[in-house]
Chain A
Amino acid sequence: GAVVSQHPSWVICKSGTSVKIECRSLDFQATTMFWYRQFPKQSLMLMATSNEGSKATYEQGVEKDKFLINHASLTLSTLTVTSAHPEDSSFYICSASEMTVAKNIQYFGAGTRLSVL
């Protein structure tokens, strides 16, 4: 099956710094990538949808200036948490959707655990 690689798997940073998380589709082209956030024992919550070459669409309540998303190519999307604070500590998961509409399946990355001290 399709593989989505997410890096890093775990990051610890100081409050006020910025952290970049990468999401790559390894064996397919992904016109659309998604970023989710998951708190312990909670369901995945969609943060934003990014289409290659265009601005991301953010869900209500998600600050676009804090969570910067770039989808510059068909195989790479990045999420940058700017000026991170302890309340940003969470599990961030990306997913990528295959290009063929008939096969509109989302493949998930392994997730990134962010701990802000």
Chain B
Amino acid sequence: KNQVEQSPQSLIILEGKNCTLQCNYTVSPFSNLRWYKQDTGRGPVSLTIMTFSENTKSNGRYTATLDADTKQSSLHITASQLSDSASYICVVRGNSGYALNFGKGTSLLVTP
């Protein structure tokens, strides 16, 4: 069964600090990997999307990395802000059809 595992499950950091979230997957064959930010009570919003050949993708203070050989991805958040408090979800799409494989997310809390 295709799986997407995220770590840590939850994280608390001080405002202004950096943090890195991890995503390991077993989806094969692989099409692309996306990171989403989901605020409480809202739908997911796309942060980055990377295909097999991409190693790094940035979106402002968010930088995602991908190692397709080891099937690992990370999301690095720089100079965190209170508004970064949310759930960050790693989503992996295989090559067949539209099916997306969702991680359970990392719940990030940024405190003053």
Contact surface of A with B, Cβ cutoff 8 Å? 1, 4, 6, 32, 34, 41-46, 49, 91, 93, 95, 97, 104-111, 113
Total number of A-B contacts with CB less than 8 angstroms?
Answer: 42
Q: Is the beta-carbon distance between A44 and B44 smaller than 8 angstroms?
A: yes
Q: Is the beta-carbon distance between A108 and B41 smaller than 8 angstroms?
A: no
Residues of B within 8 A of A4 (CB): 43
Q: Is the beta-carbon distance between A111 and B102 smaller than 8 angstroms?
A: no
Q: Is the beta-carbon distance between A44 and B41 smaller than 8 angstroms?
A: no
Number of interface residues of B (CB under 8 A): 17
Report the minimum CB–CB distance from B87 to chain A (whole Å). 8
A contacts with B: majority SS: strand
Max chain A C-beta neighbours (<10 A), residue from B43, B44, B98: B43
Asked if B45 lies at the interface with its beta carbon under 8 angstroms from chain A, I say yes
Q: Is the beta-carbon distance between B98 and A97 smaller than 8 angstroms?
A: yes
Q: Is the beta-carbon distance between B89 and A108 smaller than 8 angstroms?
A: no
Contact bitstring B31-50, A, C-beta under 8 A = 1, else 0: 00000100001111110010
